[in-house]
């Protein structure tokens, strides 16, 4: 942009009057030989104000001019003097004069409204604030190309995750203000405006420096009071790129600064504007098909046969030949015969020529086709237009409206699937950030079985389609279903694009702020999307289609379009009915009016009466007719008192190896938190994933809360209107992205992208699968104990593009006696963000509180020795101990032990006596056995000698003097037991008497 103003005395500093006099005397002495000065050789400026608030007007030679005889300094106007708007200070006479035609003045202000280039005095400073990874040199280089970019009528911020400041310094003689318009729609950018003094300290007026978000396509305004003196203005943006999201830049225009002491000249109107009256404070925009140059008093018309010009043009443009991109078709409303006509129209304003070679002409219109039927809930009643069915009636769109049968009520809502005319609660528009080409155009056009995006004025237009629903209310009989879903909106769409088109789906709650719910880039096949409504409020749903997000005035991609085939809204307050549903009847009624069932009651089919759901079941939010409307709770869960949901009361039992394990997680019912990371974006921005987990208890209330701490609301607004706070999330498990304070140079850590990961409890079990949600056994390290892990399963109803079935969460409770109290939460090492696919999140919670309750089988007894007649019995826990609370360890037990000692003594005495007796008997029988054996051997030897008639052996007889009981030798020695047995046998079998054997020696004698 060209700098269109001279701010004499506004920003520069000048010497005091005494110094000026000395300087003039010296300069005059040196310039005695120079030619005399003429009025064109110099200009007047003011010196700096002195302590008394006065100043001097001095003549300053123009650059490259050397002359002598400059006018003497004279007393100037007071420092706070300024002219009115439309006037300027004529310095020669120091009086205010009106601006001439073709110029304007703000009086004591300056304005920047032309952004073809960066105005003089503005500067860009780009930095990468994160100092966590990589070298500082690499980071500095990565932001060299980041800056605010002029776009003609506005200036655009950077699109990356660098921190870029647009800076302007101004010196004010008196208090003033700064005002600017902006567009800020993407909360992935942090946009702040603040003011510093010449000591680089922030001014008090910038306490609330965060700029509020604006609705998509709308301009907001921001103004701040300025103090006299030096003011350095900062417009600073920092992009946070998470994943592949494209950051939508901040746009700023019409920066106006009030408080400049004076302006010494008027400013020429910029091209495309004019000023036709003296003393103007602004310039007017040239109308369509006219143009103007800089400083114009009026606009010049274009030769419309050959040229055209948009509003605010600086030149006329030659009209191109017409193509198929310059017209479109529409369907006329149905006539009495049920016919519609296809009409072709030029896109307005028409900028093409039909008389050029190769130019297309408008196709013939008027082809008649059968009208599509009315949408469900409407009927034409033999007329050309469809009207909604009266209350209490229904229609499928092809038949007359009929009253609902007794015992039923209409299912209210909207189902738009035929597009002959735009429904009454919908509107369409076109908007462009940089121009007004498409103002007044239809952004979308009906096309029979679908509605499609229109042509627009240029490729970067926002083509807007709005649907307003004043509120949501479930049918009478469903009032007792107090779940989180009050209604839903479902639409079927597709996008056909050759460029980087985007389709946005947005929701506005209570007309406060429009938030992007989901967006789709480039071409998308025909698909369905559903958004759940969880609060009764006024909603405006918006579909915005943009072909390309670059500032272009051309129509290169006019064939890129978005199509919506059907839009269905359930439980709308002012809806119509396409069908009826069963309802409950009062017990004492005689008519067919429906009555609401109490909370947690379903409609019994046989009697159409309300009946409470059984214990541990919850009422479906989609139907209340029949016993099957009560859905059983999952394992380890119970229903709330009103049967609206299931929850865990922190108690659970499990039987393993004929042993019952009982768990009590009550001490873990408070919200547990986990900060995982750090992680880094592709540009090195450090961030963390922060999770809050409400495991059990609290009567099923969702205690985990995640919020964004910088958005379009202040802290006071969030406390007062937390329900309307779009980034306030309450769930069983929720997640936020945390940017640490040292990452981007902010004073505090920033939380953003808060969302719910679990709003419904499915059950708690030791099994690894529940309702198609599974946890892999190798996801976490194996448990060191044999105590089974308990898995808590949760589900989220929020559907995203990547998670068509919603998100799921599994929290694994693991017994770890070494981690007391709250223990430790962690995520899988292979998935540091808690999820590997973005849809299912896994956590392990290790704590001693996750161990089962102790039982009698978890300890054993140890008996001590009997001391002084007493004996102690101790009880100790089995090691390692894997239980808590439950059965306490028994106290030490002491008992007497005299009876036990007496019998021990008796037993010892009897044992000793028995042993001595056995030894004595053994010795006795052994001696006796020896004698019997000897006698027996003598007898045998005598018998053998008689029978064999052998000569007597000298050694056979007992010689004189020999002892017959000694030195007997046995050839076959037997054991003691054998000897006893043989002795007993011989005594039984051979009854003989002892006889005296006579030897030969005795006979001879």
Q: Report the alpha-carbon distance of residue 476 to residue 457 in Å, rounded.
A: 47
CA end-to-end span of the chain, whole Å? 171
Residue 456: which of 331, 362, 349, 322 has the closest Cα? 349
Place of tokens 């001490």: 667
Within a 13 Å sphere around the CA of 749, how many CA atoms are in the beta-carbon half? Answer: 13
The predicted pLDDT at position 244 comes to 47
Residue 541: which of 469, 630, 603, 639 has the closest Cα? 469
E-assigned strand segments in 775-821? 790-795, 808-815
The predicted pLDDT at position 715 comes to 36
Strand, helix or coil at 790? strand
Q: Report the alpha-carbon distance of residue 964 to residue 942 in Å, rounded.
A: 14
Query: Beta-carbon neighbour count of residue 615 at 10 Å?
Result: 10
State the burial class of residue 117 (Cβ atoms within 10 Å of its Cβ: 0-12, 13-18, 19+).
exposed
The predicted pLDDT at position 63 comes to 86
Q: Report the alpha-carbon distance of residue 312 to residue 287 in Å, rounded.
A: 7
Residue 113: which of 156, 148, 153 has the closest Cα? 153
In this prediction the pTM is 0.63
E-assigned strand segments in 62-183? 74-75, 87-90, 95-98, 103-104, 109-112, 122-127, 149-150, 155-156, 163-172, 176-183
HEC sequence for 197-237: CCCCCECHHHCCCECCCCCCCCCEEEEEEECCEEEEEEEEE
CA dihedral 468, 471, 476, 479 (to 10 degrees): 130
Q: Mean pLDDT per 10-residue run, the chain (1005 residues)?
A: 38 41 47 77 84 83 86 84 85 88 87 85 76 44 79 84 86 84 81 77 60 78 86 84 65 88 82 92 90 94 90 89 81 76 82 89 84 85 78 87 83 89 88 70 84 83 90 69 73 90 86 76 90 84 86 73 93 88 62 69 79 85 76 89 86 81 89 84 76 88 79 36 56 85 63 83 90 84 84 85 83 90 88 85 91 88 80 86 86 74 74 90 87 83 63 45 45 52 52 44 40
The predicted pLDDT at position 496 comes to 92
The predicted pLDDT at position 516 comes to 78
């Amino acid at each position: 942009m060209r700098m269109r103003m001279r701010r004499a005395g506004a920003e520069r500093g000048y010497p005091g009057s005494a110094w000026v006099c000395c300087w003039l005397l010296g300069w005059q002495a040196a310039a005695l030989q120079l030619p005399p000065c003429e009025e064109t050789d110099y200009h007047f400026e003011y010196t700096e104000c002195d302590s008394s608030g006065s100043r001097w007007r001095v003549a300053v030679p123009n650059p490259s001019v050397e002359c002598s005889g400059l006018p003497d300094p004279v007393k100037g106007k007071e420092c706070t003097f300024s002219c009115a708007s439309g006037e300027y200070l004529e310095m020669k006479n120091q009086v205010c004069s009106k601006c001439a035609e073709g110029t304007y003045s703000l009086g004591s202000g300056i304005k920047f409204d032309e952004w073809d280039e960066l105005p003089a005095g503005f500067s860009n400073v780009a930095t990468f604030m994160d100092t966590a990874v990589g070298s500082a040199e690499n980071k500095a280089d990565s932001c060299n190309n980041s800056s605010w970019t002029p776009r003609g009528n506005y200036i655009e911020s950077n699109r990356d995750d660098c921190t870029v400041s647009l800076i302007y310094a101004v010196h004010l003689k008196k208090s003033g203000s700064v005002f600017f318009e902006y567009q800020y729609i993407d909360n992935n950018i942090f946009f702040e405006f603040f003011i510093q003094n010449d000591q680089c300290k922030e001014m008090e007026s910038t306490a609330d420096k965060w700029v509020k978000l604006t609705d998509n396509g709308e301009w907001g305004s921001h103004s701040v009071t300025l103090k006299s003196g030096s003011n350095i203005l900062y417009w600073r943006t920092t992009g946070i790129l998470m994943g592949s999201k494209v950051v939508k830049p901040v746009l700023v225009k019409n920066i106006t600064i009030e408080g400049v002491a004076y302006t010494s000249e008027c400013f020429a109107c910029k091209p495309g504007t004019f000023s036709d009256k003296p003393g103007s404070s602004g310039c007017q925009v040239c109308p369509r098909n006219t143009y103007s140059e800089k400083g114009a008093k009026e606009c010049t018309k274009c030769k419309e046969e050959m040229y055209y010009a948009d509003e605010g043009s600086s030149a006329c443009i030659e009209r191109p030949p017409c193509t198929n991109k310059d017209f479109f078709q529409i369907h006329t409303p149905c006539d009495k015969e049920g016919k519609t006509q296809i009409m072709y129209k030029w896109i307005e304003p028409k900028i093409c020529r039909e008389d050029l070679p190769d130019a297309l002409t408008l196709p013939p219109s008027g082809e008649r086709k059968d009208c599509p039927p009315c949408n469900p809930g409407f009927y034409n009643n033999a007329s050309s237009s469809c009207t909604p069915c009266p209350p209490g009636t229904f229609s499928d769109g092809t038949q007359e409206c009929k009253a609902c049968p007794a015992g039923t009520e209409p299912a209210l809502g909207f189902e738009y699937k035929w597009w002959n005319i735009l429904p009454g609660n919908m509107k369409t528009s076109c908007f462009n950030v940089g121009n007004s080409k498409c103002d007044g155009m239809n952004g979308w056009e009906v096309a029979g079985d679908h509605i499609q995006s229109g042509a627009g004025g240029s490729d970067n237009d926002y083509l807007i389609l709005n649907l307003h629903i004043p509120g949501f209310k479930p049918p009478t009989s469903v009032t007792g279903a107090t779940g989180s879903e009050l209604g839903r909106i479902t639409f079927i769409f597709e996008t056909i694009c050759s460029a980087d088109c985007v389709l946005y789906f947005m929701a506005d709650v209570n007309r406060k702020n429009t938030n992007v719910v989901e967006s789709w880039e480039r071409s998308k096949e025909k698909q369905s999307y559903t958004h759940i409504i969880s609060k009764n409020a006024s909603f405006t749903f918006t579909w915005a289609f943009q072909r390309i997000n670059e500032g272009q005035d051309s129509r290169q991609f006019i064939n890129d379009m978005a199509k919506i085939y059907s839009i269905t809204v359930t439980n709308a307050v002012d809806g119509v009915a396409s069908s009826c549903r069963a309802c409950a009847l009062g017990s004492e009624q005689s008519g067919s009016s429906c009555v609401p069932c109490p909370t947690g009651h379903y409609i019994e089919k046989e009697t159409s009466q309300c009946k409470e759901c059984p214990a541990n079941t919850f009422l479906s939010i989609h139907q209340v007719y029949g016993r099957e409307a009560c859905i059983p709770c999952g394992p380890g869960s119970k229903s709330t008192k009103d049967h609206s949901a299931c929850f865990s009361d922190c108690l659970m039992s499990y039987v393993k190896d004929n042993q019952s394990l009982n768990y009590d997680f009550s001490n873990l019912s408070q919200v547990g938190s986990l900060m995982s990371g750090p992680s880094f974006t592709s540009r090195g921005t450090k961030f963390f994933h922060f999770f809050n987990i409400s495991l059990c208890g609290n009567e099923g209330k969702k205690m985990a809360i995640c919020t964004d701490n910088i958005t379009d609301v202040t802290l006071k607004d969030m406390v007062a209107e937390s329900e309307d706070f779009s980034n306030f999330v309450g769930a069983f498990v929720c997640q936020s992205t945390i940017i640490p304070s040292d990452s981007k140079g902010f004073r505090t850590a920033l939380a953003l992208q808060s969302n719910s990961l679990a709003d419904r409890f499915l059950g708690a079990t030791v099994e690894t699968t529940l309702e198609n949600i599974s946890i892999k056994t190798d996801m976490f390290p194996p448990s060191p104990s044999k105590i089974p892990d308990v898995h808590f399963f949760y589900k989220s109803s929020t559907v995203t593009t990547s998670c068509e079935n919603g998100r799921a969460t599994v929290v694994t409770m693991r017994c770890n006696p070494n981690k007391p109290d709250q223990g430790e939460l962690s995520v899988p090492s292979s998935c540091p963000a808690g999820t590997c696919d973005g849809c299912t999140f896994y956590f392990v919670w290790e704590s001693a509180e996750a161990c089962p309750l102790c039982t009698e089988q978890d300890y054993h007894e140890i008996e001590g020795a009997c001391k002084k007649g007493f004996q102690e019995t101790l009880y100790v826990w089995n090691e390692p101990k894997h239980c808590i609370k439950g059965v306490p360890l028994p106290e030490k037990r002491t008992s007497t032990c005299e009876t036990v000692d007496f019998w021990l003594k008796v037993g010892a005495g009897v044992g000793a006596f028995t042993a001595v007796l056995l030894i004595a008997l053994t010795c006795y029988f052994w001696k006796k056995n020896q004698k019997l054996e000897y006698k027996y051997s003598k007898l045998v030897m005598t018998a053998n000698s008689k029978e064999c008639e052998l000569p007597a052996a000298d050694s056979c007889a007992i010689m004189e003097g020999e002892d017959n009981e000694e030195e007997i030798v046995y050839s076959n020695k037997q054991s003691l037991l054998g000897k006893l047995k043989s002795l007993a046998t011989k005594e039984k079998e051979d009854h003989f008497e002892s006889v005296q054997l006579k030897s030969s020696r005795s006979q001879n004698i």
